[in-house]
Homo-oligomer: A and B are copies of this chain.
């Protein structure tokens, strides 16, 4: 919250600069859309669960994503923007991403949940530093609620321990997923200049944006490799 007159109800804080506001709306729309589609995909992959208890656990992860979506939509509404309108520009690209990376079995679904959860947390941590206080606070709230993938980690480790031959295909799948994420991110970054500038914190240095995005994607990929290694998988 920014400083208020004593006794005031806190007003909605919003970026004063219209270009900056547009970029924040783009970012919130992207994140709200990504969380909604992550929800949808995880709920869909719950159908692959071997038991009803496993199905309930994956569904719980999906609901956590939906709750993030709701928080992001609330902030958009607070800023006077219809969440549906803010999400729409990203819906087709992100839906196509999920169609390209549809899990073929239960373990692939778990790896996708684990990879997605980790990348989302790292991304939120990266962007939080560049945001104005109200949006940063929201992103940090969402970030604090990530990390629902311990269940996925347990199940993946157990499956590898039970049959080492599953490790190779799962490692390949993890590499393919992160490759698709990077490709998708570069495409969105190239199409949405204001958003890109906001994410890398370089609104005053537009020429540097794509280089900075590449550097950020390198950091995210490195963290992903470490997570996959911790799972016993080459990334």
Q: Which residues of A come within 8 Å of B, CB atoms?
A: 33, 36, 39-40, 43-44, 46-47, 51-53, 55-56, 59-60, 62-63, 66-67, 69-70, 73, 82-84, 87-88, 91
Residues of B within 8 A of A70 (CB): 60
How far is B66's CA from A47's CA once the two chains are assembled, in angstroms? Answer: 15
How far is B52's CA from A69's CA once the two chains are assembled, in angstroms? Answer: 12
B40 contacts A55, C-beta separation under 8 Å: yes
Return 20 A-B CB contacts under 8 Å, by A number.
A36-B59, A39-B43, A40-B46, A40-B55, A40-B59, A44-B47, A51-B84, A52-B88, A53-B82, A53-B83, A53-B84, A53-B87, A56-B69, A56-B84, A59-B66, A59-B69, A60-B70, A62-B66, A63-B66, A63-B67
Residues of B within 8 A of A69 (CB): 56, 59
How far is B36's CA from A51's CA once the two chains are assembled, in angstroms? Answer: 12
In whole Å, how far is A86's beta carbon from the nearest beta carbon of chain B?
A: 9
How far is B69's CA from A62's CA once the two chains are assembled, in angstroms? Answer: 14
